Chain A
Amino acid sequence: MLSDMSPRSRRQLLSMIGKAGGGLAMYQAMTVFGHAAETRFTGPPQLTGARKGSTVLVLGAGLAGMLAAHELTKAGYKVQVLEFQDRPGGRNYSVRGGDKIVEVGGAVQNVGYAPGNYLNPGPWRIPHHHRTLLHYTKAFGVELEPFIQLNHNTLVHRKDAFGGKPQRYRELSVDFKGHVAELLGKSLNAGALDSSVTREDKEKLIDAMRQWGVLDGDMKFTGDLRVSAQRGYDKAPGGGVGGAPTPSKINSLSDVLSSQVWSQIGFFFSYVMQTTMFQPKGGMDMIGKGFYRQVGKMVRLNTKVTRIAQDDKGVTANWTDTVTGQSGESKADWMVCTIPATILSQIDIQVSDTKKAALKALPYSNSVKIGLEMKRRFWEEDYSIYGGHSFTDQAIGLVSYPNNNFFQDGPAVLLGAFAGRAGGYQFAGMTPEQRIQTALDMGSVFHPAEYRKEFRTGASVAWSRMPWILGCCASWTEQSREDHYDNLVAMDGRIVLAGEHASYYGCWMEGALLSSLDAIKRLHQRALAA
């Protein structure tokens, strides 16, 4: 079979290029084939030959810290990990029934979700090209399932479009495409673009607009049955007597423009938002738990680091046990510090002034996620929506439907808010109960008859009020990258930093892992040279 043959022959070709032209030629060839460019990950680091008895202290048992502990142990180091929280994983986190969420300021939520249900308040979707994360999830036995990123049957709402009535993404996107195609076709036929395109390309473009936009013989977007085959019918095709479908009515250009559906169309073009996407079965924290299975015996939980020092012999971290009150210090030859900049910039740490300045130049974004548990899956049963997102210009940003357990009876948790920027601050400033009520009000635009009626219980995570991070993700600018990035990631004596903040893949688990791998490679080189 040709399909079976082609990958093999490509591999053979690459191998041949590699032999003939060396690694660079092979890299260039792979890039052309679309292989190498998608990731910096080249496999686990294969560090070996640590000096006998060498030790590393890792601060933070998030993904970056636990990956460092895992790989450095494999390389022969003796590793200890200190973690502030009573659980591993950091921002790799799922909230379940029975959990308690305690905020700065004292608000406490006792989560009441039914067994098996969860909210992923931090990371929740994994791009198919995040190879580092996918490598370790597989290696650590974490089962992934599809994350329904693009669902044409979800809804789009803007307060000042369609009288505030949500429309199906499918209808808006098809209508937007059709109207744009008609207008471009009109311009082309009128000769308005003759100075921009050759005659051959003009003919191809007119043909493309006719097919892509589903225009009629007069190059008009009219909403005939062929258009309905994309946007849906007024009366769907049936069987037997009276089975003929009737077309749906397209929206006017003005109405479609008022919906700003291009912002969703554009969103789905983002590299990190493209299908296929994944989520772990059972909650995002299955990944953190997978890492913890590898390194758990090295991790000391409930351990608040109060001071970090180093000299030419080693590193020392002073700490307090947040449960027993016991104080102690941990010493090692080297340190990987993954404490977020919001916290680390306030801890007494012995590093260069330039690194301290870098830590203080890293503001963190804010985000609020709210999980609403509903008594039944009305979005599936009443709206034929199976996973995916309904979008709104209100502060909640979206309603996102669960990607698992389709067609099941019993309660299910949907994401009732993914609020950022001003909307995120507004939600974070509310009490937990106010957040739920506001999210219910806003989400009701999509499902007015069901949303409050079927609501059972809710929980929210306001990242700016999580005591262990005081924010969501590091916010770099071009200027702060230029001024501080190299200083932040540089090995400083015996200490190296890692985490999403020390990467160009900020706010993604992939960035935390790539940062960690880079940090431990440099640490290992330094240790061998010392």
Chain B
Amino acid sequence: MSVRTVSQMFAATAGLALVAAVAARAQDAPGGVTTVQVSDEGREVYEQICQACHMADARGGGGAGAAIPALADNPKLAEKDYPIMLLLKGRGGMPWFTDMLTPEQMAAVLTYVRGHFNAYPDPVTVADITRVSTAPPPVRECDTCGK
């Protein structure tokens, strides 16, 4: 599924302002459009995207009085809607990933993070992603969702 298709799907289902999101991130840029592919396999999505911040061991880290949260042994991930919401909406310094990952990739990587770095083996499905993305506001526990 191409990025555009996913964008359109989310724009239609979740009402996210994806065009604006992309424009707001434009800032300084190399010029031109890259064709970087992200894997569909959960572990590889983690390595290609998540570990940039959460680290290869999923332990996060920090130093300036602020930290990147650990995903390993994180009881907040027991409830699968919580990390789904983070990927859909972002939180704090973490951006949303609706314009970078497909629902399939989100489901795959969340299944991996919950199963591999935690003991929550039940898989996250695309249906879960869709369910949370179409849930009526206000959604639970989300500091970035406004007011």
Listed in ascending order, the chain A residues whose CB lies under 8 Å from chain B are 84, 104-106, 123, 125, 156, 158-160, 260, 263-264, 267-268, 272-273, 304-306, 341-343, 345-347, 354, 357, 360-366, 389, 391-395, 397-398, 418, 420-429, 462, 464-465, 467-471, 473, 475-479, 483-484, 506-508
Q: Are B30 and A397 in contact (CB under 8 A)?
A: yes
- From 5 to 42 in chain B, residues with beta carbon under 8 angstroms from any chain A beta carbon are 17, 20-21, 24-25, 27-36, 38
Given contacts A363-B95, A391-B31, contact A470 B65 (CB under 8 A): no
Given contacts A304-B65, A422-B49, A428-B53, contact A473 B34 (CB under 8 A): no
CB distance from B44 to the nearest CB of A (A): 10
Which residues of B have CB within 8 Å of A341? 93
Since A342-B93, A467-B64 are in contact, a sample of 10 more A-B pairs with Cβ atoms closer than 8 Å, ordered by chain A residue number, is A160-B35, A346-B65, A347-B66, A392-B32, A394-B35, A424-B52, A426-B49, A426-B52, A470-B68, A475-B21
Closest A residue by C-beta to B99? A421
Q: Are B21 and A422 in contact (CB under 8 A)?
A: no
Confirm or deny: B146 has a beta carbon within 8 angstroms of a beta carbon on chain A: yes
Q: Are A363 and B96 in contact (CB under 8 A)?
A: yes
Among candidates A267, A357, A393, A476, residue contacting B24 with C-beta atoms closer than 8 Å: A476
The complex places the Cα of A363 from the Cα of B35 at a distance, in Å, of 24
Which residues of B have CB within 8 Å of A268? 31
Q: Are B20 and A363 in contact (CB under 8 A)?
A: no
CB distance from A503 to the nearest CB of B (A): 12
Most chain B CB atoms below 10 A, which of A105, A365, A427, A478: A105
Most chain A CB atoms below 10 A, which of B50, B55, B65, B91: B65
Confirm or deny: B51 has a beta carbon within 8 angstroms of a beta carbon on chain A: yes
The complex places the Cα of A357 from the Cα of B94 at a distance, in Å, of 14
Closest B residue by C-beta to A470? B93
The complex places the Cα of A268 from the Cα of B29 at a distance, in Å, of 11
The complex places the Cα of A418 from the Cα of B95 at a distance, in Å, of 19
Q: Are A267 and B32 in contact (CB under 8 A)?
A: yes
Closest A residue by C-beta to B28? A507
CB distance from A481 to the nearest CB of B (A): 8
The complex places the Cα of A123 from the Cα of B27 at a distance, in Å, of 11
Q: Are A391 and B55 in contact (CB under 8 A)?
A: no
Q: Are A360 and B56 in contact (CB under 8 A)?
A: no
The complex places the Cα of A418 from the Cα of B55 at a distance, in Å, of 21
Which residues of B have CB within 8 Å of A354? 147
Closest 8 CB pairs of A and B: A397-B30, A428-B52, A467-B63, A342-B93, A363-B95, A267-B31, A346-B66, A507-B27
Which residues of B have CB within 8 Å of A357? 143, 146-147
Q: Are A264 and B55 in contact (CB under 8 A)?
A: no
CB distance from A325 to the nearest CB of B (A): 14
CB distance from A469 to the nearest CB of B (A): 8
Which residues of B have CB within 8 Å of A272? 28
The complex places the Cα of A160 from the Cα of B100 at a distance, in Å, of 21
Confirm or deny: B136 has a beta carbon within 8 angstroms of a beta carbon on chain A: no
Closest B residue by C-beta to A260? B33
Could you jot down 26 A-B contacts, CB within 8 Å? A104-B61, A105-B55, A105-B56, A123-B28, A260-B33, A304-B65, A342-B66, A342-B92, A343-B64, A343-B65, A363-B91, A366-B53, A394-B34, A397-B34, A418-B29, A421-B36, A422-B36, A429-B47, A467-B62, A468-B64, A473-B27, A475-B95, A477-B24, A478-B17, A508-B27, A508-B28
CB distance from B94 to the nearest CB of A (A): 6
Q: Are A345 and B25 in contact (CB under 8 A)?
A: no
Which residues of A have CB within 8 Å of B61? 104-106, 467
Confirm or deny: B126 has a beta carbon within 8 angstroms of a beta carbon on chain A: no
Among candidates A306, A389, A468, A506, residue contacting B27 with C-beta atoms closer than 8 Å: A506
Closest A residue by C-beta to B59? A105
Main secondary structure, interface of B, reads: loop
Q: How many residues of B contact A (CB 8 A)?
A: 46
Which residues of B have CB within 8 Å of A426? 36, 48-49, 52
Confirm or deny: B123 has a beta carbon within 8 angstroms of a beta carbon on chain A: no
Q: Are A468 and B147 in contact (CB under 8 A)?
A: no
- From 92 to 140 in chain B, residues with beta carbon under 8 angstroms from any chain A beta carbon are 92-96, 100
Which residues of A have CB within 8 Å of B33? 260, 263, 393
Among candidates B24, B53, B55, B147, residue contacting A475 with C-beta atoms closer than 8 Å: B24
The complex places the Cα of A84 from the Cα of B64 at a distance, in Å, of 7
Which residues of B have CB within 8 Å of A394? 34-36
Q: Are B52 and A366 in contact (CB under 8 A)?
A: yes
The complex places the Cα of A363 from the Cα of B63 at a distance, in Å, of 18
Which residues of A have CB within 8 Å of B95? 363-365, 475
Which residues of A have CB within 8 Å of B17? 477-479
Which residues of A have CB within 8 Å of B47? 429
Closest A residue by C-beta to B95? A363
The complex places the Cα of A475 from the Cα of B66 at a distance, in Å, of 19
* Per-position binary interface string of chain B over residues 45-80, scored 1 when its CB falls under 8 Å from any chain A CB and 0 otherwise: 001111111011000111111111000000000000
Among candidates B50, B62, B90, residue contacting A363 with C-beta atoms closer than 8 Å: B90
The complex places the Cα of A156 from the Cα of B31 at a distance, in Å, of 11
Q: Are A422 and B35 in contact (CB under 8 A)?
A: no
Closest B residue by C-beta to A273? B31
Given contacts A347-B65, A428-B52, A477-B24, contact A361 B144 (CB under 8 A): yes
Which residues of B have CB within 8 Å of A343? 64-66
The complex places the Cα of A471 from the Cα of B68 at a distance, in Å, of 10
CB distance from B112 to the nearest CB of A (A): 14
CB distance from B91 to the nearest CB of A (A): 7
Among candidates A156, A363, A395, A479, residue contacting B93 with C-beta atoms closer than 8 Å: A363
Q: Are A470 and B62 in contact (CB under 8 A)?
A: yes
The complex places the Cα of A307 from the Cα of B48 at a distance, in Å, of 35
The complex places the Cα of A469 from the Cα of B67 at a distance, in Å, of 10
Among candidates A364, A418, A462, A483, residue contacting B146 with C-beta atoms closer than 8 Å: A483
